[in-house]
Amino acid sequence: MKKYLYTLCTVALLGLVTSCVDSFDTTNRNPDKLYLDDIDIQKIFPGSIYKSLNVLSEMNYNHYGYMARYVVSWTAPKSMDNIGDKFYNFYKKVLGDIAIMEEKYDRDSNGNYWAILTTWKAYLYSVLTTTWGPVPMDAACKETYGNVYYYNSEAEVNMQILRWLDTAVDIFDPEGEKMLKDPFYPGTGGESDIEKWRKFANSLRLDIAIRMMNMKKNPEATTLAREQIEKALNPTNRNYLFTSNDDNAAGRYGTDPNADVSLYYERILKEFDLGTKLETELGGLTYPAMNEYFFCYMRSFQDPRLSKYAQQSRNNNTVGAKYESEKDYRAVVRDSLWSTKEKRFVQVSYRIPYLPRFEMKQTPSGWLTGKDEHNNDLQSLYSTASVSIEGYTYALVPRDFIKQDATIKLLTWAEVNFMLSEIQLRKEEWGINVALPQSAEQYYYNGINASMNEYGVTTGISEYLERDGIKWNTNGLGCHDYRNFYKADINGKGGYKNNLQQVWKQRYFATYFNGYAGWTLERRTRVMNYPPFFYNNPENNYGTYGANLLDPIPERLQYPIDERNWNMNYYREACRMLQSASKTPRPDGAFDDNFYTPLAFAGSYNMEGLYDRWKEGYLMYNNEMVAHWYGDTLEEFYDNVLKDYPEYSHLQGEDRLAASINFIRIEEDK
């Protein structure tokens, strides 16, 4: 195995950086050595950002997006998987660069450079520790005796991150030296926008401190978190929070296929664009599509972001041409609509523009199909032939999310508003002394509006905000998923804990496709409380339930197998710290590197009753999440179909419906 896997960063390179600054004349410089005056943040940091985006995108594509239940694709994390380089890449591809640059750019002499590097390092370590728990930090990116390295506990890592960010916020100086071509926060001339960097540092500090308030087994951590929340929100630092979507922490790829296009494009779109893979093949599963449970919330509350979060199912028919069903990949829905004119219910079928991708398995082992008097055929929505076509039919993530120059969002203005709303609701519970200028309700609405603005939503917002469950301090009833396992309700009426449900769910909606954010929020709050994963075949997961046929969402990822081979003693100590810090320790009798051990920041979670709850029962196939797509009556359909298909406005009534959505009346004797 290569040495750098076990010292985590480019140790040989770092050793040269620290030891090769000598008084040799230029003619005596060793071309194989790296000297401090060779290190240039202007040249190295852009590559560090690009590699960071790749590392984060790789994790989102393979793990985070699925575990957040945002999307369904080919991946399904299992504890027998070897995470391998996905862990090490944080260090050897990015943190090693940061360590090299830190050797030259210190806090006292290069304040802005140091603060930029520290803020970026803080974000990466926050991702590492909320994914694995204890991780190497103090011993990382250093040459160590025997090429082994120790881990810091989850609390230690988070506390150090807060200290870094606290100092960075103070150090940033808009009048100081700046990068000439900043790759992450460029100003109008391309140079570093220091105020935006400072806003990122302070907003990130607030996010991490809120997360740490769950670390009740470590009073030192919660005390520091409380202090840092107050400091982040004092009258001065409050100005250093995101105040618009222009402040969002988001990195953007380039358009050079040989240099800087997105990992998503390389993994997903490239083969489709080149014609080497068809979306109708099984390979279409590599293209992420919206998860069924998330979709239930989009549909239940007519969220205007749906069209920004998903592509419409493909229909290759054109206006004015003869309709051909083989060109239409939209799913067919059978429905019952009230005809105001005829004063009776009419049985109809039509096609819908969006259909989420279901999770495996459709009929879990041990479950029977119950009878639903409102569902005539008692079949799964997904048993229709037109729905089984992979790729074209499902609500695929937008191309903008995965195109060559895709934007990768780390932290947003919407999230900051939801943080402030949560703090207003919990400041007495947490014993925090802050005086914010707006109420929890106002910050809640600010967060929703910020999210709408972020995605360019301009219509339907006011109606959305007035719906029960979305309107502050109200309850809203949502639809069931197609198996009747989950109901997308929002219970916001009552005390502050109910208000928190609204805040948390809206924050979850706002970070769609940022799986790290969604997965982390759910583990901290348990607000979504989705059903477990069901498997088609037995799985071999540590801590598994249900004879290996169902499992909860993973609470963390396991360390690479190489850690057992090359760093065993410190690996065992990391697993010991993991179990010790958890509110619900789950030793597995092996190394205790358990897939289902909640981390220190995670909310209370009782997994023990999961198997009894989900091992068997009656599932009720239903069409709630797609029924009455354009309204409850035929007359509503005539008008509302134009929201998706305005090109058919020249037609009227059922002619319009037939042309736009293949609307068909079903004869009652059939």
Return the minimum-mean-pLDDT range out of 33-47, 61-75, 147-161: 33-47
Can you give the pLDDT at residue 81? Answer: 77
* Domain that includes residue 598, residue range: 532-614
pLDDT band at 593 (very low <50, low <70, confident <90, very high): very high
Tell me the pLDDT tens digit for each residue of 180-225: 999 999 999 999 999 999 999 999 999 999 999 999 999 999 999 9
Answer yes or no: is 544 within a domain: yes
Average pLDDT of the residues of the chain: 89
**Residue scoring higher pLDDT (620 or 563):** 563
Closest CA to 418 of 495, 505, 476: 505
pLDDT band at 378 (very low <50, low <70, confident <90, very high): low
User: Is the Cβ–Cβ distance between 185 and 196 less than 8 Å?
Assistant: yes
Can you give the pLDDT at residue 3? Answer: 42
Mean pLDDT of 331-360: 93
Can you give the pLDDT at residue 146? Answer: 75
Closest CA to 521 of 447, 453, 462: 447
Return the minimum-mean-pLDDT range out of 2-11, 194-203, 476-485, 532-541: 2-11
Q: At what angle do helices 219-232 and 194-212 cross, to 10 degrees?
A: 140
pLDDT at position 322 over 70: yes
Residue 369's SS3 state is strand
pLDDT at position 278 over 90: no
Closest CA to 315 of 324, 305, 303: 324
Can you give the pLDDT at residue 273? Answer: 77
Answer yes or no: is 59 within a domain: no
User: CA-to-CA distance for 142 and 4, rounded, in angstroms?
Assistant: 10
Can you give the pLDDT at residue 282? Answer: 45
User: Is the Cβ–Cβ distance between 160 and 152 less than 8 Å?
Assistant: yes
Dihedral (C-alpha) 638, 642, 647, 648: value to the nearest 10 degrees? Answer: 0
- Tokens 């970070």 locate to 511
Mean pLDDT of 354-365: 86
pLDDT band at 5 (very low <50, low <70, confident <90, very high): very low
Percentage, residues of the chain above pLDDT 90: 73
pLDDT at position 8 over 60: no
User: CA-to-CA distance for 645 and 257, rounded, in angstroms?
Assistant: 35
Report which residue type is found at 263: L
Answer yes or no: is 75 within a domain: no
Can you give the pLDDT at residue 390? Answer: 62
Return the minimum-mean-pLDDT range out of 74-78, 201-205, 255-259, 371-375: 371-375
Closest CA to 591 of 621, 570, 614, 610: 570
Residue 50's SS3 state is helix
Tell me the pLDDT tens digit for each residue of 393-443: 899 999 999 999 999 999 999 999 999 999 999 999 999 999 999 999 999
Question: How many domains does the structure of the chain reveal?
Answer: 1
pLDDT at position 17 over 50: no
Answer yes or no: is 54 within a domain: no
Token pair belonging to 274: 């080149």
pLDDT band at 11 (very low <50, low <70, confident <90, very high): very low
Closest CA to 482 of 361, 394, 392, 358: 358
pLDDT band at 386 (very low <50, low <70, confident <90, very high): low
Can you give the pLDDT at residue 373? Answer: 53
**Residue scoring higher pLDDT (277 or 82):** 82
pLDDT at position 279 over 70: no
Answer yes or no: is 403 within a domain: no
pLDDT at position 74 over 80: no
Answer yes or no: is 567 within a domain: yes
pLDDT band at 241 (very low <50, low <70, confident <90, very high): very high
CB atoms within 10 A of CB 293: 22
Which residues lie closer than 8 Å to 43 by C-beta, 6 or more apart? Answer: none
DSSP line for 562-590: HHHHHSHHHHHHHHHHHHHH-SS----SS
Answer yes or no: is 606 within a domain: yes
Answer yes or no: is 580 within a domain: yes
Return the minimum-mean-pLDDT range out of 160-174, 602-616, 637-651: 602-616
pLDDT band at 57 (very low <50, low <70, confident <90, very high): very high
Tell me the pLDDT tens digit for each residue of 448-472: 999 999 999 999 999 999 999 999 9
pLDDT at position 490 over 90: yes
pLDDT at position 247 over 90: yes
Return the minimum-mean-pLDDT range out of 64-68, 391-395, 557-561, 643-647: 391-395
pLDDT band at 389 (very low <50, low <70, confident <90, very high): low
**Residue scoring higher pLDDT (510 or 20):** 510
Mean pLDDT of 106-128: 97
Tell me the pLDDT tens digit for each residue of 623-669: 899 999 999 999 999 999 999 999 999 999 999 999 999 999 997 65
